[in-house]
Amino acid sequence: MESLWAPWRMDYIVSDKSKECVFCTAPKAENDSIKKILFRGPNSYVILNIFPYANGHLMICPYRHVGCITLLNDEEFHEMSVLTKKSLGILRQEYRPDGFNTGYNIGKSAGAGFEEHLHGHIVPRWNGDTNFMPVLAETKVHPEHIEATYNRLVPIFRNITL
């Protein structure tokens, strides 16, 4: 029998699965590296997805707890748009993907895991990055550990100006 080791998953297994909104509690953390927050703006922040579809999978989140883009005020909408644009540039420079999936899943039927708190996704994609592992083994293969991704990106995100 083959074994696939994923020791970093233990953190999730033993973590508190409280009903609090992860996008409201993450910015309250005293240490951004624990929650993988890359950038904090006045109205929104950029965070690594800790269960990514691909290396470099980011989310842009407003601080305010709203469930739809239509509920954002103009400042929030503008800042999130600017951060999406700048994040795409950073990921393009650092990871050289062939493309991106970007967007919002609004509502559970649209795939929102946390439908109560809006968050935009940016997923770098490479030609041929979909392989047999998710189909046969229900396993995703990520060539870079999330700590390495965070350490690679955070110094660049610290230089963002809005």
Q: Quick one: pLDDT at residue 132?
A: 45
At 110, the amino acid letter reads A
Q: What does the pLDDT look like over 11-22, one tens digit per residue?
A: 655 666 567 889
The stretch 53-69 carries a mean pLDDT of: 93
Which domains can be identified in the chain, with CATH numbers?
Answer: 20-157 (3.30.428.10)
Q: What is the DSSP string of 84-121?
A: HHHHHHHHHHHH--SEEEEEE--SGGGT-SSTTS--EE
Say how many C-beta atoms besides its own lie within 10 A of residue 101's C-beta.
13
Which among 65, 117, 119, 121 is annotated as catalytic?
Answer: 119
Q: Quick one: pLDDT at residue 130?
A: 61
pTM: 0.79
- Measured over the CA atoms of residue 104, residue 61, residue 84 and residue 12, the dihedral's sign is negative
CB 121 within 8 A of CB 101: yes
The band of 42, judged by pLDDT with boundaries at 50, 70 and 90, is very high
Q: What does the pLDDT look like over 110-150, one tens digit per residue?
A: 777 777 899 999 999 988 766 544 444 455 556 678 888 99
119 is catalytic: yes
